[in-house]
């Protein structure tokens, strides 16, 4: 069986360095808000071409902290993509803001800039763009809307470490960008971790307070903050892995290129083949009208796949208030998507076998 993702194998090349880094942290006697965090924040800011990086506990908190720092009045509308993971939207509700769902461009499956403008009202304060599957959203038209309507743009880049758009890194393109270093991400820790990047010094400063109970000087609390810190152990591990991110993303691009040219199965809708080099290829998501049959066929032939995601947010029990909302493009995507294995440890033989097996689906 070719596993969808084997984290043991993904981390194997770095285990010796990770073990050394972990021992260093254990022996330092300093586990929270120390030099390991400072070092990682500096290198990740540089990597993202951003002036500030603030390490936080996870990707969900990164989005929450950005929205909390902006302090929009309760009831303000925040535009969100309808096709995303639930973590992109939950923070909007936590802060008593109103998520306004916008359908994707069916070609990219990312939020459709043309539909965003129609969703903007006098009450809109921000747009959350999600670089889903590893591809940056079309930021030029979105930036134009943001300027025209005086909004903030927040990017959820949990799946897009190292992606670029018009020659600039994801992490430098929005007012603030949220990253997750959940173990399965392109840059993954060995536990939960996240970060915020921004070029806005004031926002960076406020988030630094908010992640630490609203405090910078001990026992003096300027805000009602959270406890959301990136610990020294995870920071040290991320510093080990960051220098290899570009090479890993390059391998992902190579694999994506092979899939794009090799997959010939009828009715299979491929991800866009333009901008291969800009994309971080976190996931290789194709669509098929008989998705569930394809999943079973691949499973029976030794290829493990995944579905990102099976049920849209507005159809989740947690969002039962929205159950009558009809978002046909998003619903169709959730019925049809299937993610093929795409990770840096796949061998050329694995990829050839996956392509051959998918192409046999028409002839079973
Ligand atoms: C993983 C992910 C998150 C959440 O990250 P956590 O670190 O698990 O909180 C948010 N948005 C997207 C698109 C993700 O893929």
Q: Give 201: exposed, middle or buried? Use CB within 10 Å, 0-12, 13-18, 19+.
A: exposed
| 35-39, 124-128, 263-267, 284-288: least confidently modelled range | 263-267
Cβ contact 234:248 at 8 Å = no
Q: What are phi and psi of 257, to 5 degrees?
A: -60, -40
Pocket test for ligand 1, best of 55, 56, 57, 59 (most atoms within 8 A of CB): 59
- Position 246 pLDDT exceeds 90: yes
Pocket test for ligand 1, best of 64, 83, 156 (most atoms within 8 A of CB): 156
Mean pLDDT of 315-319: 98
Q: CB under 8 Å to 301, separation ≥6 — which residues?
A: 357, 360
Q: What is the largest CA-CA distance in the chain?
A: 69
Q: Report d(CA 310, CA 299) in Å as an integer.
A: 17
Of all atoms in ligand 1, which is nearest to the CA of residue 88? Answer: 11
- Position 66 pLDDT exceeds 90: yes
Q: What is the pLDDT of residue 132?
A: 98
Of all atoms in ligand 1, which is nearest to the CA of residue 60? Answer: 9
How close is the Cα of 288 to the center of ligand 1, in Å?
Answer: 25
- Position 134 pLDDT exceeds 90: yes
Cβ contact 177:50 at 8 Å = yes
Q: Give the residue whose CA is nearest to atom 2 of ligand 1.
A: 158
pLDDT band at 345 (very low <50, low <70, confident <90, very high): very high
- The structure tokens listed for 110 are 């990312």
Of all atoms in ligand 1, which is nearest to the CA of residue 194? Answer: 7
Of all atoms in ligand 1, which is nearest to the CA of residue 132? Answer: 13
How close is the Cα of 363 to the center of ligand 1, in Å?
Answer: 38
Q: What is the pLDDT of residue 191?
A: 98
Mean pLDDT of 10-32: 98
Q: What are phi and psi of 53, to 5 degrees?
A: -135, 135
Q: What is the pLDDT of residue 102?
A: 98
Q: Which residues surround ligand 1 with Cβ inside 6 Å?
A: 58-60, 84-85, 87-88, 130, 156, 158-159, 180, 182, 192, 194
pLDDT band at 364 (very low <50, low <70, confident <90, very high): confident
């Amino acid at each position: 069986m070719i596993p969808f993702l084997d984290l043991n194998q993904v981390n194997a090349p770095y285990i010796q360095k990770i073990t050394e880094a972990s021992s260093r942290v254990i022996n330092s006697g300093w586990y929270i808000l120390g030099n390991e965090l400072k070092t990682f924040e500096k290198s990740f800011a540089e990597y993202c071409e951003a002036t500030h990086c603030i390490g936080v506990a996870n990707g969900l908190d990164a989005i929450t902290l950005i929205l909390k720092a902006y302090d929009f009045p309760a009831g303000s509308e925040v535009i969100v993509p309808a096709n995303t993971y639930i973590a992109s939207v939950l923070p909007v509700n936590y802060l008593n803001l109103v998520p306004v769902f916008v359908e994707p461009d069916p070609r990219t499956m990312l939020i459709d800039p043309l539909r965003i403008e129609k969703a903007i009202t006098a009450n809109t304060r921000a747009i959350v763009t999600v670089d889903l599957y590893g591809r940056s959203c079309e930021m030029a038209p979105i930036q134009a809307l943001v300027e025209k309507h005086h909004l903030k743009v927040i990017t959820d880049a949990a799946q897009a470490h190292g992606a670029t758009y018009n020659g600039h890194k994801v992490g430098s393109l929005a007012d603030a960008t949220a990253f997750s270093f959940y173990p399965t991400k392109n840059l993954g820790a060995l536990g939960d971790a996240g970060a915020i990047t921004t070029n806005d010094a004031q926002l960076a400063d406020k988030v630094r307070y908010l992640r630490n109970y609203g405090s910078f000087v001990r026992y003096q609390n300027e805000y009602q903050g959270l406890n959301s810190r990136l610990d020294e152990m995870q920071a040290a591990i991320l510093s080990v892995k960051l220098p290899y991110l570009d090479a890993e993303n390059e391998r992902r691009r190579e694999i994506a290129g092979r899939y794009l040219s090799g997959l010939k199965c009828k009715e299979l809708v491929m991800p866009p083949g333009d901008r291969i080099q800009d994309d971080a290829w976190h996931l290789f998501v194709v669509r098929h009208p008989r998705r569930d049959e394809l999943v079973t066929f691949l499973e029976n032939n030794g290829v493990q796949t995944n579905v990102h995601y099976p049920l849209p947010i507005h159809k989740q029990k947690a969002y039962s208030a929205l159950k009558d909302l009809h978002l046909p493009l998003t619903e169709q995507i959730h019925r049809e998507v299937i993610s093929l294995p795409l990770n840096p440890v796949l061998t050329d033989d694995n990829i050839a076998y996956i392509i051959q097996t998918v192409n046999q689906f028409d002839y079973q």
